[in-house]
Amino acid sequence: MGRPPCCDKSNVKRGLWTPEEDAKILAYVSNHGTGNWTLVPKKAGLNRCGKSCRLRWTNYLRPDLKHDGFTPQEEMLIINLHAAIGSRWSLIARRLPGRTDNDVKNYWNTKLRKKLMKMGIDPVTHKPVSQVLSDLGSISTLPNTNNQMNFVNNDSINNTVPAATEPSGSHYSSITVNASANKNTREDQVHSWEHQVR
């Protein structure tokens, strides 16, 4: 059995929030603080789900949130943390005061991922695209067995993916991750980093 629903979904308003609704949440939280969000809609006079109220407060209305653009320092921190721990947005957001996990995730997906690709860096591995393509070429030369999948051959890589140049400049060197790092090392880094954040 699952958790009971937080509200009667058929009778709640959905969609865009109005300035009046935002004002009601702000007034309620300033008088009563954050607490049991299932009670907030009724006590604040809102026809919304408690979860919706909590998310509106957490992601948009909290006074400590930054609503301006990301700084170059924040960008580099996001890139470096993503290289170390992957897309664990809430952990990354903890290192960026005033930013939510949703802010960080959206910024990564709309801006930073594309920025890395333009610089010739694979946004998943944080390696130069040319190295990723070379690694794929090495994988394709492995013998095909029942336990291995024969991925692609060098000809199909060269014909389908445009050639990329490796980024130049010393400030890009901190973006790439050591290719020899094994899975255990990465898990140890994540575990160590999580304890530092707490």
Q: Compute CA 177 distance to the chain's CA centroid, rounded to the nearest angstrom.
A: 18
Pick the range with the lowest mean pLDDT from 11-15, 51-55, 66-70, 162-166. Answer: 162-166
- Tens-digit pLDDT profile for residues 60-72: 999 999 999 999 9
Residue 193 pLDDT exceeds 80: no
pLDDT confidence of residue 94: 95
Residue 128 is classified by DSSP as: B
pLDDT tier for residue 10 given thresholds of 50, 70 and 90: low
Residue with tokens 């949130």: 65
pLDDT confidence of residue 132: 79
pLDDT confidence of residue 18: 96
Residue 124 pLDDT exceeds 80: yes
pLDDT confidence of residue 149: 40
Model confidence, pTM: 0.61
Q: Which residue blocks in the chain are alpha helix, DSSP H? A: 19-32, 40-44, 50-56, 72-85, 89-94, 101-107, 113-118, 129-140, 154-160, 183-197
Tell which wins on pLDDT, 2 or 116.
Answer: 116
